[in-house]
């Protein structure tokens, strides 16, 4: 096989594994079954659209990790992970979506053959990619093992980004800036939404500054008018209309690293409520970014936002931000911290967040967001795109 081109130095993968094993040992976990594709990628480099079938990385306390997945995806592992071929194991295709057998049945045999059948095994219980059937199979086939909940164990190790990770996110920022510039240039009354999305996706894939773009973990979200009262509607073939605001929640993505950014565009003359809310949101964002610094907590950032918008008579029940970085569908968040009351996680330099202080009302909505990182002296946004409500006649 030809040499694999990894996104990071081998030393960085080794450091990630060491950090993860340290926590495993603290929790009494001998073997970790990693099913989240973001965590699989972070630990080994594996990159493929194969997460619709069961797959995982096995991480023992010693030796290199093992990649486990569908047999036909094993060559994809050989082309993307740092491990040798002996550490890549594929299961037969008759295990795929079968009502008679489960891929975890086959994995259990491998675990037994490695002498791990009596160990404490960590599994990511609350995860999109690990089902109840997975755990049932493992428990039935490994009766002498002890199973422990390792949900987000690896996710937390990803919280502080390395310089190379920050570099990739900066490239993603240039991409999302180009995407928003393309939106503002093209959107107008009468244009079909799907036609604009085609341009958004084209710009995303083309990339920026010579760096290509990847597919994002979330598709473009661009609800208009009353639909903008809902945060997660996508698109259809209806036409943009004058007298409506549309928010565009999108992300640039480079080497699986994301930089989300939202902006709202109003076609026509915006009503005063949009202008008033814009001012409240921008002041609240400035306060939140000012509060985001090493030693502060997640709830400190949210409190600065909440107290500021309260002066304008606004309140927001949902969290106003979450950590970002490496991700696969269906979510570009890291599913650890939240910028909300009660989250006392202490911020450190290198942590990265999407500040999304969106306001969704009964019949309209406004989103102006920023992705930022914690620096030694405070915080710094990734994007240089104008922070405002855009108005286009």
**Residue 40 to residue 127: CA distance in whole angstroms:** 13
**Residue 365 to residue 277: CA distance in whole angstroms:** 10
Q: What is the predicted pLDDT for the residue at 200?
A: 98
Closest to 270 (Cα-Cα) out of 282, 261, 259, 279: 279
Domain-by-domain residue ranges, the chain?
10-157, 163-392
Asked whether the CA dihedral 26, 31, 36, 38 is positive or negative, the reply is: positive
* Whole-Å CA distances, 148 to 48, 106, 124, 197: 28, 20, 9, 43
Rama region for 310: left / alpha / beta (φ>0; ψ in -120 to 50; rest): alpha
Q: Tell me, letter by letter, the H, E, C secondary structure of 277-337.
A: HHHHHHHHHHHHHHHCCCCCEHHHHHHHHHHHHHCCCCCCCCCCEEEECECCCCCCECCCC
**Residue 55 to residue 71: CA distance in whole angstroms:** 10
Q: Answer yes or no: are the C-beta atoms of 322 and 339 closer than 8 Å.
A: yes
DSSP codes joined into one string, 349-367: TTBEEEE---EE-SS-EE-
**Residue 300 to residue 311: CA distance in whole angstroms:** 17
Task: State the alpha helices, DSSP H only, in the chain.
Answer: 10-26, 37-44, 74-78, 103-113, 132-141, 153-157, 163-186, 193-206, 272-291, 298-310
H-helix or E-strand spanning residue 122: strand 120-123
Q: What is the predicted pLDDT for the residue at 147?
A: 98
Class of domain 163-392: alpha beta
Closest to 331 (Cα-Cα) out of 151, 168, 128: 128
Q: Answer yes or no: are the C-beta atoms of 339 and 319 closer than 8 Å.
A: yes
pTM: 0.97
Beta bridge partners of 374: 379
Dihedral of CA atoms 369, 374, 377, 380 in degrees, nearest 10, equals: -30
**Residue 361 to residue 294: CA distance in whole angstroms:** 33
Residues near 379 by beta carbon (within 8 Å), at least 6 away in sequence = 289, 290, 292, 293, 372, 373
Give me the tens of pLDDT residue by residue for the chain, a chain 393 residues long. Answer: 468 999 999 999 999 999 999 999 999 999 999 999 999 999 999 999 999 999 999 999 999 999 999 999 999 999 999 999 999 999 999 999 999 999 999 999 999 999 999 999 999 999 999 999 999 999 999 999 999 999 999 999 999 999 999 999 999 999 999 999 999 999 999 999 999 999 999 999 999 999 999 999 999 999 999 999 999 999 999 999 999 999 999 999 999 999 999 999 999 999 999 999 999 999 999 999 999 999 999 999 999 999 999 999 999 889 999 999 999 999 999 999 999 999 999 999 999 999 999 999 999 999 999 999 999 999 999 999 999 999 998
Which CATH number applies to 10-157?
3.40.350.10
Residue 62: strand, helix, or coil: coil
Are domains 10-157 and 163-392 of this chain identical in fold?
Answer: no
Q: What is the predicted pLDDT for the residue at 110?
A: 98
- Fill in the DSSP letter of residue 27: T
Residues near 18 by beta carbon (within 8 Å), at least 6 away in sequence = none
Q: In terms of C-beta distances under 8 Å and separation of at least 24 residues, what long-range contacts does 177-180 make, across chains too? A: 177/208, 177/252, 177/261, 177/383, 177/384, 177/385, 178/203, 178/206, 178/207, 178/208, 178/252, 179/203, 179/204, 179/250, 179/252, 180/248, 180/250, 180/261, 180/263, 180/385
Q: Answer yes or no: are the C-beta atoms of 13 and 7 closer than 8 Å.
A: no
């Amino acid at each position: 096989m030809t040499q694999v081109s990894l996104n990071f130095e081998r030393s960085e993968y080794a450091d990630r594994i060491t950090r993860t094993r340290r926590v495993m040992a603290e929790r009494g976990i001998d073997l970790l079954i990693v099913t989240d594709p973001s965590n699989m990628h972070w630990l080994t480099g594996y990159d493929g659209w194969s997460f619709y079938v069961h797959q995982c990385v096995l991480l023992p306390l010693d030796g290199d990790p093992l990649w486990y997945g569908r047999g036909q995806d094993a060559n994809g592992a050989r082309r993307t992970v740092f491990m040798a071929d002996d550490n890549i194991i594929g299961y037969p295709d008759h295990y795929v979506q079968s009502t008679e057998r489960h891929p975890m049945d086959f994995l259990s045999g491998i675990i037994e053959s490695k002498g791990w059948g009596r160990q404490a095994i960590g599994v990511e219980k609350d995860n999109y990619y690990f089902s109840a059937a997975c755990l049932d199979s493992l428990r039935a086939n490994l009766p002498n093992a002890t199973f422990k909940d390792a949900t987000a164990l690896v996710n937390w190790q990803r919280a502080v980004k390395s310089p190379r990770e920050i570099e990739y996110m900066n490239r993603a920022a240039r991409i999302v800036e180009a995407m928003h510039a393309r939106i503002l240039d093209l959107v107008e009354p009468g244009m079909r939404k799907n036609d604009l999305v085609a341009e958004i996706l084209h710009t995303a894939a083309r990339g920026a500054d010579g760096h290509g773009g990847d597919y994002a973990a979330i598709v473009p979200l661009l609800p208009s008018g009353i639909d903008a009262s809902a945060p997660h509607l996508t698109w259809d073939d209806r036409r943009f209309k004058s007298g409506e605001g549309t928010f565009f929640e999108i992300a640039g993505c480079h080497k699986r690293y994301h930089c989300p950014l939202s902006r709202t565009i109003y076609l026509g003359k915006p009503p005063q409520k949009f202008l008033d809310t814009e001012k409240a949101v921008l002041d609240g964002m400035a306060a939140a970014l000012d509060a985001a610094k090493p030693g502060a907590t997640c709830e400190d950032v949210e409190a600065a936002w909440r107290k500021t918008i309260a002066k304008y008579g606004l309140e927001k029940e949902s969290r106003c931000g979450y950590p970002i970085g490496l991700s696969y569908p269906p979510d570009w968040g890291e599913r650890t911290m939240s910028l909300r009351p009660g989250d006392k996680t202490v911020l450190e330099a290198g942590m990265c967040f999407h500040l999304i202080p969106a306001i969704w009302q009964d019949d309209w909505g406004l989103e102006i967001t920023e992705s930022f990182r914690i620096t030694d002296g405070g915080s710094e946004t990734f994007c240089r795109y104008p922070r405002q409500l855009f108005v286009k006649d």
